[in-house]
Amino acid sequence: KASGAGTSIIGVLEVVESDFAKNLATEETEEDDAQTMYDTTTQQNKVTTTLKEQDVKYKTQEFKGLDTSLADLGGERESTGAELAAVLEYDAKIKERCIAKPEAYEERKRRREAEISGLKEALAILEDETAFVQSKKKGGRKHHFLSAFA
């Protein structure tokens, strides 16, 4: 019986050793897979970090360039605005001088009345002189109204 008990203990120990070897191989394989996954992820993270650092570098350069452009365009806008204001002011002065403004009704009426009264006065003078010339006629001799002043 002693040899049977020793054989069964050795059999159990061999089964345990086999299970341990199997579990060790499985754990080593899983650890190798995890290490490979870690190394791959670490490499991807390094590449991603490098790309993002380059992006930051280029975006910073672009930002600085845009700031410079913005400052230049802002100054250009101010000078262009001042130039536009000067041109518009000059345009307003030219239009004021060149575009005929309609006269007010009162002004036209006053001018027309002055013109009509001047014409009436001239007509009255001409009628008086004609009457004067006709009244001085004697005989067959014709007198011209200017000859009366000579």
Please state, in angstroms and rounded to a whole number, the distance separating the CA atoms of residues 143 and 11.
175
Residue 141 backbone dihedrals phi, psi, to 5 degrees:
-80, 130
**Do 113 and 98 contact (CB within 8 A), yes or no?**
no
* Range of weakest confidence among 11-15, 25-29, 122-126, 140-144: 140-144
Beta-ladder partners of 138: 141
- The torsion defined by the Cα of 135, 140, 144 and 150, in degrees rounded to 10, comes to -90
Give the pLDDT confidence of 33-87 residue by residue, as tens digits.
999 999 999 999 999 999 999 999 999 999 999 999 999 998 899 999 999 999 9
End-to-end CA distance of the chain: 188
- The pLDDT score that the predictor gives to residue 100 is 74
Please state, in angstroms and rounded to a whole number, the distance separating the CA atoms of residues 72 and 78.
10
Between 149 and 8, the higher pLDDT residue = 8
Question: Does 105 score more than 60 pLDDT?
Answer: yes
**pLDDT-based confidence at 121, cuts 50/70/90?**
very high
Please state, in angstroms and rounded to a whole number, the distance separating the CA atoms of residues 104 and 101.
9
- The pLDDT score that the predictor gives to residue 150 is 47
Secondary structure letter of residue 39 according to DSSP = H
Residue labelled with tokens 């991807």:
44
Question: Does 17 score more than 90 pLDDT?
Answer: yes
Distance, C-alpha 90 to centroid of its chain: 24
